Amino acid sequence: MKFCYLRFLMLNRFPIDRIQIWLFLVSMLLISFPWSERINSIIIALLVLHWLIDPHFLSKLKTLPNRAVKVFPFFLFFFVQFFFVSRAIHLEDALQTIEVKLSFLVLPLLFSTEQYFDDGNQKWLMRLFSLSCLFSAIYCFVAYRLYTYPLVGWDELFNRMIFSVYLMHPGYYSNFFVVAIIFLSIQLITNHSSRREKISSLMGIVFFLFILFILVSKTALIILLLFCIYIIWHYLSAITSRPIRMVFFLALATVALIIFIKIPSIKIRLAETRGEISSIGKNVKLSNSTGSRMMAWKVEWNLIKEKWLEGYGTGNANEILLQTFEKEGYADLVKNQMHTHNQIFHTWLDQGLAGLLSVLLFFACSFYYLYKNKGTIGLWTAALLLLYCFTDDALEIQAITVFCVTIMCLYLFQKRDKKIAA
């Protein structure tokens, strides 16, 4: 009661425009993603505080059942994870995975009950995010010139593992540029964008493509290729004859694929992958990213078959995998603490069939409602996250999980009416 009184007194003495504060915090959150996990964690904590300090808090909570069908898959995935904590081998590992997945509980709750993200502000919020990506890339160039250039010259500038080393792993970093390219491309093809907006969007796309071809993340590039094919289909929509449209589509999609694989950095990456696949066995090194993943998936599948229904317990997947690697003689993978590199298998190992069904339901519902809500950017972000789940422990990595779930929730609960009551 005392807390409620103080909150009421504070809000009456210092009237606050809740929407403006919310927009400021969300803009800071989007800006922070290419820079620091710690900063965006702090901003999410401020968003939670903003959500709690509301004179109409109870009224806001009462709106939650109206959006329960969209929120439920997020909550279900989180609580399935939480339920299996009791079977953890190491409690700290289980609590760490729960901490990362708090975004599945917190973010849908925040954005479903305070729907301030609308058609009117989503453009400039995403432009701020794109500008942040731009400045972070410039920072990488400057950091390279100051710290790496004196040691090795310019030879390593286009080394994917060195370019973003002062911010984060290139695989994580590339996700932000993919989403920025998707947003700018949509701005470029929409009729209501001004000439200046179209020019700036085109320049941004070219620059971000250049950065992606340095980072050459396989997951990001696959999504980029699929999006390129989607754009081709969009531009061919004016052709009324379906057979002619399909012929043009297949021809242009093939040309796009050929051009794509001829890009030097992608060509080198593909050659590396082919070489890595040919070097698979118990002596496989962790540096062989494709080969080590394939061996891990093989071992994980065997472990899943042993406990496909009940699972091993939250936070146990990597521990069980390493124990099996040690028994079977994968010395380098044990030495370097190889992890599952597949979120679908990881969840299945941890929570059994319940975990598998919860993660599949989460993606199925997200795709359905984002498509229904015409949240194109959110839809492609969900596709990016799903693809990442097949190649890495995506939902165990804060940099990926919080970013993707934030974008998905913003568009999933986007308010189409521009006139929003405070």
Residues 336-373: tens digit of each pLDDT: 899 999 999 999 999 999 999 999 999 999 999 999 98
Could you tell me which residues are beta bridge partners of residue 415? 118
Q: Where are the domains of the chain?
A: 1-62, 68-114+292-422
pLDDT for the residue 418: 47
Beta carbons of 71 and 296 less than 8 angstroms apart: no
HSE-CB at 8 with a 13 A cutoff on CA atoms is 6
Average pLDDT of the residues of the chain: 89
pLDDT for the residue 181: 96
pLDDT reading at 285 higher than 50? yes
In this prediction, residue 4 has a pLDDT band, given cuts at 50, 70 and 90, of low
pLDDT for the residue 6: 47
In this prediction, residue 10 has a pLDDT band, given cuts at 50, 70 and 90, of very low
Q: Record the pTM.
A: 0.91
pLDDT for the residue 286: 83
**Which pLDDT tens digit goes with each residue over 215-241?**
988 899 999 999 999 999 888 888 888
In this prediction, residue 15 has a pLDDT band, given cuts at 50, 70 and 90, of low
d(CA 336, CA 362): 32
In this prediction, residue 9 has a pLDDT band, given cuts at 50, 70 and 90, of very low
d(CA 382, CA 404): 7
pLDDT reading at 387 higher than 70? yes
Looking at residue 121, its amino acid is N
Mean pLDDT confidence for 79-106: 92
